[in-house]
A and B are shown apart, each in its own frame.
Chain A
Amino acid sequence: MLTKIKLNSMEYLEFELPIKELQEQLEKCQIIGEESEVDVTETCKQIEEKLLKTKKEIYKNLTAWQRVQLSRHPNRPYTLDYIKALCGDSFLELHGDRNVKDDKAMIGGLGKIGDQTYMFVGQQKGYNTKTRQYRNFGMSNPEGYRKALRLMKSAEKFNIPVVTLIDTPGAYPGLEAEERGQGEAIARNILEMTRLKVPIICVIIGEGASGGALGIGVGDRVLMLENTWYSVISPESCSSILWRSWEYKEQAAEALKLTAPDMKKLKLVDDIIKEPLGGAHIDREKTFLTVRDAIEKNYNQLKNLSPKELVKERMDKYANMGVFKG
């Protein structure tokens, strides 16, 4: 019964259809076994093996575009899912930019992993039409970035390390966002994050779209989950600008080198966090544990550095980014 519920609630992407087919066959086989007293153990086992093999084949050779799709999978865990799993009841959400608004697309607050308090900041997406609108599809306004900065400065004051969880299709391109200075807000965050005197660990858990992501994305460690993307533009927008059509998004995704392995190769991110076979949503608990371990491991490497060393290393890291001749 359990597999059936799981099957119904799970959404499949186009390239995952062979998996869906096998999953359905397996389920049918199990039902036959339950209802007809025919011994189907062997068949089930064979289908299971084939399923695993197919999964491995598909997920080992994902194209850039397929990873982009996985990063947007509707069942994927979002920022608050991570925080609640990591901190449990210790999480205390804090609101507001002390200026104009509380941005629902950017959340933050204090919470404990083990004995250590962290200040969490991250973009939040919704689960259904209503909450997606409420969260503005994870697209922050300037007040979201200013709220994030306020919380990070508060963390700095009390010597609390910062963890940012990045998942955004971009900063919100709206009239009021421009009136209130979207560019200024992101710029200010980037500058302040380069010199914040506490460790900053950034984790890209979904989409890392451009300035909207970097606005909370400057850190001592920038980690990408395996099936996420991070670039200067989304593949769709890139395609429409350079190819003058949305049709070339696959090519654009490939060309942008936006996957975690590519970003690591370019030395623009520090490490990759492995996801369960099939993506973070297939085994959420396992994903949360891996992310928790990654945060703790990286914090332990950073916690004994003096604020001066910390900031110097961070600044050196960013000073070294870029490729040029002469």
Chain B
Amino acid sequence: MSWFKRKTKGITTTTEEKKDTPKGLWYKSPTGKIIDTEELEKNFYVSPEDGYHVRIGSREYFQILFDDNKFKELDANLDSKDPLKFEDTKKYPDRLKAAQAKTNLKDAVRCAVGKSKGKDLVIACMDFNFIGGSMGSVVGEKIARAADYALKKKIPFMIISKSGGARMQEAALSLMQLAKTSAKLAQLADANIPYISLSTDPTTGGTTASFAMLGDINISEPGALIGFAGPRVVRDTTGQELPEDFQTAEFLLEHGFLDFITERRDLKNKVNLYIDLITNQPLRV
């Protein structure tokens, strides 16, 4: 027996009377848990029941890591060009414009300096929403300049990676950003300034072949996908069945590439604990 009985057949509500559910009130995690978005935000964008770490961008990471969400953005106005006159299904400049309009971001990385637990920290944080967090000349230049800033002011440096890899629309110019950013990190290392690399879901391709794997500590969040070649490519090339946890943060930890995995709620404390320890300073509470 049904609980409700339809008295009249068909849909009787007129289109004008129909009520829309506002978008963004609820979030559904991949395991099917439905969460109030406000609650999700309060929980560091981690689904409370299953611990799923929702993909977030620079806005949220800055909010989590900088005290009172206060920071100064560095080189905010750097803009991409189209040196190769690249065209796939869309012209590259059109693609950039569309991405900028959609995401309200200039490119796939934002850099900022601010206080974290009372001490200066420079963070370069990638945004996956912007053309898959792909790394072109602007991403390379902004990261290099942020590293320069950290170098000049002797401030610990952190990169939060979240990227599909190199930006094809910039071809080899994009590839060379791997070398450019790595060279900067070498300078930072020579000056003994701590560099922390946080790989978040997903960190793949060129980013893993450069700054994401070059930290004094490499850390990650639970369940994040991290790898050089994508799982599909590996499966098709080798013909091998891949382990279930292939290229997860846990897989990388087991294989020696991560120093530790941290829950997002502990991120700020763990990063600053490391900085205090490695610089031999009193621990901040």
Contact = CB atoms under 8 A, between A and B. Distances in A.
Interface of A: 90, 92-102, 110-112, 115-117, 143, 147, 154, 157-160
Contacts of B151: none
Interface stretch (B76-84, B163-171, B254-262): B254-262
A101 B255 CA distance: 4
Given A90-B273, A98-B218, A160-B278, 8 more contacts: A96-B257, A98-B256, A101-B256, A111-B277, A157-B189, A158-B278, A159-B192, A160-B280
A102 B194 contact: no
B280 A101 contact: no
B258 A157 contact: no
Given A112-B283, A157-B189, A94 B259 contact: yes
B260 A95 contact: yes
B68 to A, nearest CB: 25
B277 A110 contact: yes
B282 interface: yes
Nearest to A90: B283
B262 to A, nearest CB: 10
Interface of B: 189, 192, 194, 213, 216-218, 253-260, 270, 273-274, 277-280, 282-283
B258 to A, nearest CB: 6
A98 B257 CA distance: 4
B282 A115 contact: yes
Contacts of B277: 90, 92, 110-112, 117, 160
B194 A158 contact: yes
A70 B282 CA distance: 38
Contacts of B283: 90, 112
A92 B273 contact: yes
A96 B259 contact: yes
Nearest to B213: A98
Contacts of B254: 101-102
B256 A94 contact: no
B258 A95 contact: yes
25 contacts: A90-B273, A92-B260, A92-B270, A92-B273, A92-B274, A93-B260, A94-B259, A95-B253, A95-B259, A96-B258, A97-B256, A99-B256, A100-B256, A101-B254, A101-B255, A102-B253, A102-B256, A111-B277, A116-B280, A143-B256, A147-B256, A158-B194, A158-B279, A160-B277, A160-B280
A258 to B, nearest CB: 33
A95 B259 CA distance: 4
A100 B260 CA distance: 15
B192 A94 contact: no
